[in-house]
Amino acid sequence: EAQVTQNPRYLITVTGKKLTVTCSQNMNHEYMSWYRQDPGLGLRQIYYSMNVEVTDKGDVPEGYKVSRKEKRNFPLILESPSPNQTSLYFCASSFGGGNEKLFFGSGTQLSVL
């Protein structure tokens, strides 16, 4: 089944403790992206990747890192999480970066205490 898989689904952590949220897709998509969703603000793009080893900033990249060493995986790294990064996170992928529909993961609810 074609899907985007995120893990974990829920994560509670403390300020400053490094964490990684994983994202994997099985559709051989070139484009992958991370979003955060906060009440009333829609989905804001954090980082995106056009292909392996090609990443770029979205609208809200501060405090986040990403890597794209393999086509299928696009992990989101929070080196030193802070409470303002408490949010619902979504990973998405598509065949390309232009006119192709996005497939979304189920989301990761992160709470930073």
Partner 1 sequence: DAKTTQPTSMDCAEGRAANLPCNHSTISGNEYVYWYRQIHSQGPQYIIHGLKNNETNEMASLIITEDRKSSTLILPHATLRDTAVYYCIVRGYTSNDYKLSFGAGTTVTVRA
Residues pairing with 44 in the sheet: 36
Q: By the 8 A CB rule, do 30 and 96 touch?
A: yes
Q: In angstroms, what is the minimal distance from the CB of 13 to partner 1? A: 19
Cis peptide before 83 (omega within 30 of 0): no
Tokens of 67: 């890597």
Q: In angstroms, what is the minimal distance from the CB of 57 to partner 1? A: 8
Q: Which residues bind partner 1 (CB under 8 A)?
A: 4, 31, 33, 35, 37, 40-45, 48, 50, 56, 58-59, 88, 90, 92, 97-99, 101-107, 109
Residues pairing with 57 in the sheet: 47
Q: In angstroms, what is the minimal distance from the CB of 76 to partner 1? A: 15
Cβ-based nearer residue to partner 1, 55 or 85? 55
Q: In angstroms, what is the minimal distance from the CB of 104 to partner 1? A: 3
Cβ-based nearer residue to partner 1, 11 or 103? 103
Q: How far apart are CA 87 and CA 107, in angstroms?
A: 10
Cβ-based nearer residue to partner 1, 31 or 74? 31
Tracing tokens 């403390």 back to the chain, one arrives at 14
